[in-house]
Amino acid sequence: MKAVICTKYGPPEVLQFKEMPKPVPKEDEVCVKNFATAVTGSDVLVRSAGFPFFIELMFRMMIGFTKPRKPIFGLVFAGEVESVGKNVKRFKKGDQVYGFTGSSFGAYAGYLCISEDESKEGCLSIKSAKMSYEEAAAMAYGGCLAPYYLEKGNIQKGQKVLIYGASGALGTTSVQLVKNLGAEVTGICSTKNVELVKSLGADRVIDYKKEDFIGSQERYDFILDAVPHGKIDKRNLKAQCKKVLSPNGKYISIDDGSPKEKAEYLIQLNALFEKGNFKAVIDRIYPLEQIVEAHTYVDTGRKQGNVVITLTQVSQPHPTPHPTPL
Ligand SMILES: NC(=O)c1ccc[n+]([C@@H]2O[C@H](COP(=O)([O-])OP(=O)(O)OC[C@H]3O[C@@H](n4cnc5c(N)ncnc54)[C@H](OP(=O)(O)O)[C@@H]3O)[C@@H](O)[C@H]2O)c1
C-alpha cells in the first residue's frame, strides 16, 4: 500500500513515500481503508521535533531518538472498514468510520489497523453518513482533543467562555462545542479570521492585532488557551488570562496534561453534525502526493481550522472550504 513515512526529524522534505505491506488486523482490531487524513498541529510538531531541550529529550525517548519508531506518519483518518479481527463486535466490513491513531500514528497510508476499543493507541467511531470523508478527517483532531479540555471547565449554560486561538483546529471546534452547551463565547484570533470565528457562532470576536483583551471589563468563567506550543509566550498569556477570570473561573491551556481521545467525543460530534449544529472547518485539501506542500503550508502557522489530505478519489463531493453560518 501507499504510505508516507518520516525518515528523520526535520523540515517537510523528511516525509517520503514508501510502498508498505498492507496491515493485517489482530483479533481485536479493525482494518480501515483510509480515504482522508489531515496535517495536524501535532503532526508538524512531531515531524520537526520543535520542543525545548528537556521536553525534546523526553519526547525522543517516547517516540524515537532519530526518527519516529512507528515509521508511517499521521494521526487522524476517515475511511471504510475493510475487515475485522475475530473478536471485534461493534464494527463490520463496509462501516464508514473515523478516528484518531494516538501514539501508533499510521494515518498517512492507504490502510491502517486500530483496536475497536479506545486506548493510548487511539479511538474509532462510526462516521455520520451525512459527513464526507474529508469533513470527518477535518473534525477528528479537534473533535478528539477539544472536548477533553472543555470538560475540565464544567461549562454551564449562560456562562462566559473565552477561547484564545479560536481560529485553529482546537479553537474552531471549541467555539462550536461551547455554543452548543449554551454558553456565551468570545473568540480571539487575528484580523483575517474574525469573520470565520463569527460564522461559527461566537458572540464576540476580539482581533488580537487590534485590541488588547485584558482592557475590557468582561470577566470569564472559563478560558481555554488554544494557541499551539511555541507560538506565544505562554507564561505571559496565562498571567494575562488570569486577570480576566471571574472569581471562581478556570483557565486551561491545550499544552496542559495528556488528553485522552475518546470515541464518545466523536459519537457526540456525529449527533451535532447531523442536527446542523457543527461544521467542519477546512482551509485546504491536498492529495497525499502533495504531503510535503501540505506540511509546508501548516508550518506557516497560519492555517484556518484544518488542512485535509485525500488518499483515494471517493464519490462524495468535496465540502465547501468554509462553513456557512450556524
Ligand atoms: N497537551 C498535549 O498533549 C497536546 C496534544 C495535542 C495537541 N496539543 C497542542 O495543540 C496544538 C495544535 O493546535 P491546533 O491544531 O488547534 O493549532 P492551529 O490550528 O495551528 O491553531 C493556531 C491558533 O493559534 C492562533 N495563534 C497563532 N499564533 C498566535 C499568536 N502569536 N498570538 C495569538 N494567537 C496565535 C491562531 O490564530 P491566528 O491564525 O488567527 O493568529 C489560531 O487560532 C499543538 O501544537 C500542541 O501545542 C497538545
3-state secondary structure 61-83: HHHCCCCCCCCECCCEEEEEEEE
Task: Answer whether residue 203 shows pLDDT above 90.
Answer: yes
Q: What's the mean pLDDT when you consider all of the chain?
A: 94
Q: CA 323 to CA 312: how far, in whole Å? A: 24
Nearest CA to ligand 1 atom 28: 231
Dihedral sign for Cα 28, 267, 130, 165, please.
negative
Q: What is the pLDDT of residues 36-57, one digit of tens each?
A: 999 999 999 999 987 777 788 8
| Alpha helices, H only, the chain | 41-48, 53-63, 133-151, 169-180, 194-199, 234-243, 263-274, 291-299
Task: Kindly list the domain boundaries of the chain, sorted by start residue.
Answer: 2-143+258-310, 145-253
Lowest mean pLDDT across 68-72, 166-170, 256-260, 312-316: 312-316
User: What average pLDDT score do residues 242-259 get?
Assistant: 95
The answer to whether the CB of 258 is under 6 A from ligand 1 is: yes
**Which atom of ligand 1 lies closest to the CA of 298?**
20
Quick: pLDDT tens for 218-235. Answer: 999 999 999 998 899 999
Residue 144 CB-half CA count within 13 A? 29
Q: How confident is the model over 21-37, as pLDDT tens digits?
A: 999 999 999 999 999 99
45 lines ligand 1 (CB under 6 A): yes
Structural contact between residues 125 and 131, judged by C-beta atoms closer than 8 angstroms: no
pLDDT at 312: 78
pLDDT exceeds 50 at position 193 = yes
Kindly state if the Cβ of 217 falls inside 6 Å of ligand 1: no
Supply the pLDDT for residue 293.
Answer: 98
Check if the beta carbon of residue 74 is closer than 8 Å to that of residue 140: no
Q: 166: CA distance to ligand 1 center in Å?
A: 9
- Cα of 42 to ligand 1 centre, how many Å? 10
* CA 33 – CA 291 distance, rounded (Å): 19
Percent of the chain with pLDDT over 70: 96
Quote the CA–CA distance of 126 and 130 in Å, as a whole number: 12
Q: Whole-angstrom Cα distance, residue 250 to residue 256?
A: 13
- CA dihedral (32, 38, 44, 49) in degrees, to 10, reads -10
Nearest-CA residue for atom 22 of ligand 1: 168
Tally of CB atoms within 10 A around 255: 13
d(CA 90, CA 113): 15
Distance (angstroms) between ligand 1 centre and the Cα of 24 equals 35
pLDDT reading at 324 higher than 50: no
Ligand 1 in reach of 190 Cβ (< 6 A):
yes
CATH of domain 2-143+258-310: 3.90.180.10
User: 96 C-alpha to center of ligand 1: Å?
Assistant: 29
Question: Which atom of ligand 1 lies nearest, measured to the CA of 305?
Answer: 19
Average pLDDT over residues 236-261: 95
Q: What's domain 145-253's architecture? A: 3-Layer(aba) Sandwich (3.40)
Per-residue pLDDT at 25: 98
pLDDT in tens, 106-121: 999 999 999 999 988 8
Give the mean pLDDT of 119-128. Answer: 93
> Is residue 16 helix, strand or coil?
strand
Q: What are the φ/ψ torsions at residue 65 (nearest 5 degrees)? A: -70, -50
* Residue from 42, 59, 105 to probe ligand 1 pocket by mutation (most atoms less than 8 Å from CB): 42
Q: Which helix (H) or strand (E) holds 309?
A: strand 306-310
CA dist 178 and 226 (Å) reads: 14
Distance 31 CA to ligand 1 centre (A): 31
| HSE-up of residue 136 (Cα within 13 Å, Cβ side) | 30
Measured CA to CA, the distance from residue 94 to residue 80 in angstroms comes to: 6
Is there an atom of ligand 1 within 6 Å of 52 CB? Answer: no
Question: At residue 60, what is the residue type?
Answer: R
Cα of 20 from ligand 1 centre, angstroms: 32
* CB 283 within 8 Å of CB 265: no
Task: Report residue 133's pLDDT band, with 50, 70 and 90 as the boundaries.
Answer: very high
Task: Pick the atom of ligand 1 nearest to 173's CA.
Answer: 16
Inform me whether the pLDDT recorded for 212 exceeds 50. yes
Is the model more confident about 278 or about 320? 278
pLDDT value, residue 317: 46
Q: Is 304 in the pocket of ligand 1 (CB under 6 A)?
A: no
* Rounded mean pLDDT, 58-86: 94
* Whole-structure pTM value: 0.94
Nearest residue to 172 via CA among 154, 194, 191:
194
